[in-house]
């Protein structure tokens, strides 16, 4: 069952206000296929396939399980993600979070106790050009 709208309970894993939450996939709910969203989505259920948001924030709760490629502006993980994660701004892996796959982002925050098994590719940064030593 998907619930949309505002909730009075504190169900986010980050410091974002609950009023910002626009979608919720509850525990015991499963989606297979492609999912797109805007703004903020919390997942406590299971998603397999592809998740895409150009400007949204994906919150994966402690009971959330995602086996998919993920594209979002921000990703906050307290559950499990298996697959490539691409975030325009940042990826946060909280103490109960597990990410198995490569991460492409400008900022990666891994808290003590979290699991990250993959490669991190820092995006949005220019690689300085090699400079030749100056001869005197």
- Specify if 9 maps to a domain: no
Distance (Å, whole) CA 52 – CA 19: 21
Tell me the C-alpha distance between 42 and 30, whole Å.
13
Q: Considering the domain boundaries, does residue 14 fall inside one?
A: no
Is 5 within the bounds of a domain? no
Q: Note the Cα 58 to chain centre separation in Å.
A: 5
Q: How many domains are contained in the chain?
A: 1
**Containing domain of residue 50, as a range?**
36-117
Specify the pLDDT at position 15. 53
- Establish if 80 belongs to a structural domain: yes
* Mean per-residue pLDDT pooled into runs of 10, the chain (136 residues): 36 52 84 93 95 95 97 98 97 98 97 97 73 67
What is d(CA 24, CA 118) in angstroms, rounded to the nearest whole number?
Answer: 27
């Amino acid at each position: 069952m998907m619930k949309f709208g505002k909730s009075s309970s504190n169900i986010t894993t980050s410091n974002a206000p609950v009023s910002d939450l626009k979608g919720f996939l509850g525990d015991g709910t499963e989606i297979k296929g492609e999912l797109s969203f805007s703004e903020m989505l919390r997942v406590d259920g299971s998603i397999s396939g592809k998740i895409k948001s150009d400007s949204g924030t994906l919150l994966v709760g402690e009971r959330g399980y995602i086996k998919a490629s993920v594209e979002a502006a921000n990703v906050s993980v307290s559950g499990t993600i298996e697959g490539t994660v691409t975030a325009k701004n940042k990826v946060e892996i909280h103490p109960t979070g597990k990410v198995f796959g490569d991460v492409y982002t400008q900022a990666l925050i891994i808290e003590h106790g979290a699991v990250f098994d993959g490669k991190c590719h820092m995006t949005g940064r220019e690689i300085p050009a090699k400079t030749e030593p100056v001869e005197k």
